[in-house]
Amino acid sequence: MLDEELIDRTLTSYCHRCDDGEFDALLELFTPDGEFVLRGRTVRGHDELGTYFEETQGPLERRGRHLTVNREIEVDADRATAVSDFLFLRRVNGQPVPAVVGRYHDILVRVDSGWLLARREVRVWE
């Protein structure tokens, strides 16, 4: 499989695992010292990431869906960057409603099993 396809799989798995509340599996997509950056806050490492996702994602019935499009992936040996636009939908009165739009800026590293996120920066379109 091409590196771009493996990276795409990692980025897609991030959305599915986050949306489904599978936070232990979500952490497996980050390097042990991986970073998540949103609105000036940086969370580092699996312990902090796990706590952050548990606290911010809410219970399953309040969770929504991430949709990502327009990916640009650049591979340079064992490192890669990816930029993706995203739309996050929440349920309001049983209907999907756009809640957040933005762009992911990712740095990934190659490991034996594929590619992991070393850093995900979320830039919200406000």
> In which residue are the tokens 């009165």 written?
93
User: Of 3.20.20.70, 3.90.1300.10, 2.40.50.140, 3.10.450.50, which CATH number belongs to 3-124?
Assistant: 3.10.450.50
pTM equals 0.93
Distance of CA 101 to the CA centre of its chain: 14
Tens-place pLDDT, residues 59-101: 666 678 999 999 999 999 999 999 999 999 988 888 889 999 9
CA-wise closest residue to 122 among 29, 41, 26, 44:
41
Report pLDDT digits (tens) over 12-65: 999 999 999 899 999 999 999 999 999 999 999 999 999 999 888 866 666 789
- Give residue limits of the domains in the chain: 3-124
Q: What is the rounded distance in angstroms from the CA atom of residue 11 to the CA atom of residue 124?
A: 17
Q: Is-contact 24 56, C-beta < 8 A?
A: no
